[in-house]
Chain A
């Protein structure tokens, strides 16, 4: 009654299933990465371009950005002054290019210091129970003041310099970072791999260093890019209202502040630094969004 194969004749073969969608060769290496993360690629390219501009500003056909030329005031953009000149006859093109330096230094500086300090505070807050409620109430207090007002207030206490601008904006940004890190630390502490490490006799400092810290970095880096972007805007605002970088240093906020009086007749003085600021912030945000999507979408969304 029962027969095992082969029961005479050829083995019954299942019909071959067609391809529903065209097979593509999986891209590997750097081209694959760019293909999968176009936002990072575009943002990163713009950002590299701006860094290049900042570093090599003296060699990019610029003049001395602080050289006054009263005879050449408020010239329109032309072959000689690509972006025109301002009311003191300074070359706007040169000033905007040198201004890139201020913006990037402030942006990266704030992102770095706010991350490091915020990470430390967040880790302490997430691990030391008694310190947590105190630290978090202080952070709540700081966060209840709009960060730009806080920065203005801090600048009022000191004298204008790039370093002080970085300091003021960093202080205003720290609460956000430490809250993020604390949240991540608290959720990581509950992770079975951390519990397993504790049960394996690992000491607390090692737990933090080896199991907690590396896993906070992904959301941290994403957050740092957003801080970088908002710090650049904050610097421009501070400079614009005269509470930031001293006027002698060409920063985009300063250039715009000086061009403000002539906005209706000579719009280009404000226009070019504004465009550069927008592109820079856009580039940083694109990198941030791309990193968030590719690093760890689950963790980063918790911000």
Chain B
């Protein structure tokens, strides 16, 4: 079975626009979480979020795209452009149908949708934009990226809440095996508008803590839920032969293993699926727990879910058996974008042989179970990185990326 290479990264994050800016901030432990400024958060239970700062879409995108795109699509288009440039791919030079796009989505273009629903209900149906039909829908990022770069290969969009950022990459890998040699895959997401915020707060998992450095502290005894953020990453995946043919000598790594599982119905007393996903991903990567050098945790921030994850990690790797990190403590959870950003971060850590820290942890809740890389980055010999992601409702995904010597 072929293990496709990752040859390009594009990143947008609350603590850095662009891969290198993000990575430098992550290593400095610099958080992008702060008070919500996009709208007036008074009256909502949570008021803290991870916003992408200083993003002026006019500087990045042609003006004709602005009226027809939600904020999250603009961010996705910027990440796509960076990923292709980083991979050194000029789509115009590719044969027909050689490259496709798979993105993960959670709720589509929520802010765009809110504006159009406002027009519908306050003024009437005739005031709804002619762009609404596609600006909000789940695969909008796939469609807009495909059009902008002329990518006509197999393309799709997946929705598995916060696990989608890995599932999209796994689906892209499948398209490569089926004959589309190059894929752009991942998630970039945002729902930072009042309507999106209200919906997200109904998950019961959004932190009500206002202090930005205390609001999202997974694996800490003060854990109180998570902070929603925006952003994500897109990755260029490539068939090995295609990459060799065009002279790629330093890929970020290979997608070595992946699995996804679903939890049993709550209350049945059966074991949740996270451990199974993890073990199946290792099996597919043909490695054992001892070969894993770092784990990017899902780190939900909900105490019982943190405990479950810590127990699974201790069960598989032994107590404190592997360095565990959650750089998403600097960004918040990015809906469908979060796991893709973790994957990009994992690849950067393989490149630079350093693990970025989990920030703001003052009193670890599971110190006997997991070795959390807290406060400072940690240099280490890294060959295999494991990324875990869970989606609301019971979705579990695990992916192993391997450094290519």
Q: Are A and B subunits of one complex? A: no
